[in-house]
Amino acid sequence: EAGVAQSPRYKIIEKRQSVAFWCNPISGHATLYWYQQILGQGPKLLIQFQNNGVVDDSQLPKDRFSAERLKGVDSTLKIQPAKLEDSAVYLCASSLGTSKNIQYFGAGTRLSVL
Amino acid sequence: GDSVTQMEGPVTLSEEAFLTINCTYTATGYPSLFWYVQYPGEGLQLLLKATKADDKGSNKGFEATYRKETTSFHLEKGSVQVSDSAVYFCALSPTGNQFYFGTGTSLTVIP
């Protein structure tokens, strides 16, 4: 079974530039999550999708972050414009979407904003 | 709100030493509890889980018991190996679809 795929693995940009990350979840997984993991901290949920609808985006900085999951499969997370404090690893995870389920994580995209 | 507090690191142990990483939680209801492991340069992987009080999760020699009376889910391993060096995250899920993670504990095992 293929795991959660993310790209790119690494990205370096200057502040005020834009960046986009891509995630392909495990086939058949209804729920998709984007997390931000700042160095030395645990993952913080940014947004959660159930199929192509948003379940929770309460911690997403909507003035600069956006995410979509067209057709309920792949997802993209965009930052525009980026700030220095956005430097982090962005993790995508997916799950079946049933209760008591397990999340499967991708390897993440490491973003450095200079 | 729901949250997880885990013991701060870093933790450095010699090979074959006993490991304990403490984790306590705050939650309403009966959440599921998890330990995830993150090896360098990789995403998080589920290590073990427990879904109800007194359940014991186990995998690869690691164990953790869901203790409702002490709201704890401490991770233990009797004899650590160099390959266990990683960052360990305690997490809870109150609904099965929302997850809250601790800050992580870095473990280094030296030969």
Task: Give the pLDDT confidence of B50-71 residue by residue, as tens digits.
Answer: 999 999 999 999 999 999 999 9
Q: In what order do the strands lie in the sheet with A75-79?
A: A5-7, A19-24, A75-79, A65-68
Q: Report the share of chain B in percent with pLDDT over 90.
A: 78
Residue A2, pLDDT > 70, answer yes
User: Mutate which of A29, A37, A47, A59 to test chain B, going by most B C-beta atoms within 10 A?
Assistant: A37
Residue A98's pLDDT is 65
Residue B75's pLDDT is 98
Whole-number mean pLDDT of chain B? 93
User: Mutate which of B99, B103, B106 to test chain A, going by most A C-beta atoms within 10 A?
Assistant: B99
Residue A13's pLDDT is 97
Distance CA(B42)–CA(A21), nearest Å, equals 16
CA A79 to chain centre: 11
Which residue did the predictor score with more confidence, A102 or A46? A46
The 10s digit of each residue's pLDDT in B69-105 is: 999 999 999 999 999 999 999 999 887 677 889 999 9
Residue B96's pLDDT is 65
Q: Would you call A71 exposed, middle or buried from its count of C-beta atoms within 10 A (0-12, 13-18, 19+)?
A: exposed
CA B111 to chain centre: 23
Are B51 and A102 contacting, i.e. CB atoms less than 8 angstroms apart? Answer: no
Q: Write the residue in B41, B96, B102 that is nearest to A100 by C-beta.
A: B96
State the DSSP code for A74. Answer: -
Are A60 and A75 contacting, i.e. CB atoms less than 8 angstroms apart? Answer: no
Residue B72's pLDDT is 96
CB atoms within 10 A of CB A20: 15
Residue B35's pLDDT is 97
Residue A100's pLDDT is 57
Q: Report the share of chain B in percent with pLDDT over 70.
A: 98
The answer for residues whose C-beta is within 8 angstroms of residue A99's C-beta and 6 or more apart is: B95, B96, B97
